[in-house]
Amino acid sequence: MTNKLSAGKTTAEEGLRAEQRADKPRHDGGEEMNKTVAAQRAFFHSGATLPYAFRVQQLKTLSAAIKEKED
């Protein structure tokens, strides 16, 4: 099955349906996970991830973590 969202061939309606599905819990329980996901979504929607400097720093942090695990 092709993921229409990642292929860039989505309509606004399909995107809305996908977003609505993403907001629903995927399993019973997991209240802590639901809180974490909600906090991450709020952070993303705040626009804090847009600045170039933020994204570069996140990539540097990821790179350092990968190098640390390789050793």
Separation CA 64–CA 51 (nearest Å): 20
Separation CA 25–CA 22 (nearest Å): 8
State the residue for tokens 């997991």: 30
Q: Can you give the pTM of this predicted structure?
A: 0.46
Separation CA 18–CA 13 (nearest Å): 9
Predicted pLDDT of residue 66: 96
pLDDT tens-digit readout, 9-63: 456 666 656 666 666 655 556 899 999 999 999 999 999 999 999 999 999 999 9
Longest dimension (CA), the chain: 47
Check: CB of residue 15 under 8 Å from CB of residue 5: yes
Check: CB of residue 58 under 8 Å from CB of residue 65: no
